[in-house]
Amino acid sequence: MKNPHTNEGWFVPTKKAIEGLTLEQSNLKDSTENHSIGELVSHLIFWNEMNLKEFKGEKVPEFKAGNKETFKKNNGTDWENAVKKLDSIQTEWEKLTENATGEQIIEWNTEIVNMTAHTAYHTGQIIYIRKHNGWWK
């Protein structure tokens, strides 16, 4: 779980991808239906947290809204909080998977792989937006 979060291997991890972005940058959208960086982070927070709660055996609230509702724009200090929350969720995932039993890993392997791929996919979109706007070194 460290690869999509902090380890830079084959791809840039989310922590590095969103590092140093301002609120204004996080909310910038082009003239298409593409999502902003902030919306992508909101989406990752939603799904990674839902999976985290389920993995921990917590009650997961029923989700009746469409996936579109998970892409939220940030306002004010929301961006700083979103960056911290995504980091916190991914850190907790790392700890839980490092200490998980073999049975837990077997039971959750498909969901963990899908979540990791999903995170890497959206992180790639974030990097693309940054490069397109000259915000990437």
Q: Over its length of 137 residues, how does the chain's per-residue pLDDT go in tens digits?
A: 545 555 566 778 999 999 999 999 999 998 899 999 999 999 999 999 999 999 999 999 888 888 999 999 888 889 999 999 999 999 999 999 999 999 999 999 999 999 999 999 999 999 999 999 999 98
Domain-embedded: residue 31: yes
Predicted confidence at residue 6, as pLDDT, reads 56
Predicted confidence at residue 85, as pLDDT, reads 97
Token pair for 23: 């609120």
Predicted confidence at residue 8, as pLDDT, reads 63
Predicted confidence at residue 22, as pLDDT, reads 95
Domain-embedded: residue 68: yes
Domain-embedded: residue 6: no
Q: Alpha-carbon distance 10 to 81, whole Å?
A: 28
Domain-embedded: residue 20: yes
Predicted confidence at residue 64, as pLDDT, reads 85
Q: Alpha-carbon distance 14 to 3, whole Å?
A: 9
**Domain containing 45: what range?**
14-132
Cα separation values, 48 from 13, 31, 38, 63, 89, Å: 15, 28, 15, 14, 7
Phi–psi pair at 82, nearest 5 degrees: -65, -45
pTM for this model (two decimals): 0.91
Predicted confidence at residue 133, as pLDDT, reads 96
Domain-embedded: residue 3: no
Number of domains in the chain: 1
Q: Alpha-carbon distance 64 to 114, whole Å?
A: 21
Domain-embedded: residue 137: no
